[in-house]
Amino acid sequence: MIELIPAIDIINGKCVRLSQGDYSTQKIYNENPVEAALQFEAHGIRRLHVVDLDGAASHHVVNYRVLEQIANRTSLVIDFGGGIKTDEDLSIAFDNGAQMVTLGSIAVKNPELFKKWLKQYGNEKIILGADVKRNRISVNGWKEESQQELMPFLNDYTQEGVFKVLCTDISRDGMLQGPSIELYQHILKEFPTMYLIASGGVSCIQDIIDLETAQIPAVVFGKALYEGRITLKELNRFM
C-alpha cells in the first residue's frame, strides 16, 4: 500500500502552496497549519511533510515554532525540510518534533556535512531531497539550478547509505497536471531497494492509484487536497 504524506508548506507561519516553487504564486490555504494537521490525523493520516519555505529562502530554519506546535498537538510522524544548513539548524528541527529531515541543498553544496549527518543520525532519519528540473538538481528553494544530474546524484548517495529519497519534479509541482510516473519508474529500475517518495503534480485520486499501481512506495501531495480535487474521505481506500 502506498504511503500517503500530505504536505504543509509554511510562509509567515501560514499554510500555503506555490506553483513550480515560485514564491510570487503563493496562495494561503490555512492561517493555522496545526488545524490542517489535526484534520489529516482525524482522517487516519499518519505521516506529514512540513516545508519551511521561509527557511529555504533565507538559508536557515525559520518556522520551527509551527513544527513544534504540530508535533505537540498531533501524533503524526513528521519529516521537516527547508533551510537546514548547519548543525544548529538540524538540532532545531529534531528538538522541535521532527522525526526525519529532508535535505537537498546541503547534499549538493556541502556533501561532507550531509554524509556526516547521515552517519550520525542514520538513513531512517535522513531523507535525501532530489528536486529536479531539466534533469538537474535545484537548490535553495529551487531558486538555483546546480550542475548535478539526477541519476549520478542518486547513485553517489545510495552508495553512501541513503535509503529514503524524496524526488520532486519541479515542472509538475503545484500544477495539478499529474505526477512524473515514468521518471519514478526509471529511478526504481536503477535503485530497486530505494524508498522513493514521489512529489509534484498529483491532481486527483486516480494519480495516487496510478502511483500505487506503478509500485511507488510513497507520495507527497498538497494542492489537490487543499483545492478539494482530492477529499480526505477518498484517501480511506489507502489506509
Which residues carry out catalysis? 9, 131
C-alpha of 237 from chain center: 22
Distance CA 173, CA 200 (A): 4
Rounded (5°) CA angle 167-34-226: 55
**HEC profile for the chain?**
CCEEEEEEEEECCEEEEEECCEEEEEEEEECCHHHHHHHHHHCCCCEEEEEEHHHHHHCCCCCHHHHHHHHHHCCCEEEEECCCCCHHHHHHHHHCCCCEEEECHHHHHCHHHHHHHHHHHCCCCEEEEEEEECCEEEECCCCEEEEEEHHHHHHHHHHCCCCEEEEEECCCCCCCCCCCHHHHHHHHHHCCCCEEEEECCCCCHHHHHHHHHCCCCEEEECHHHHCCCCCCHHHHHHC
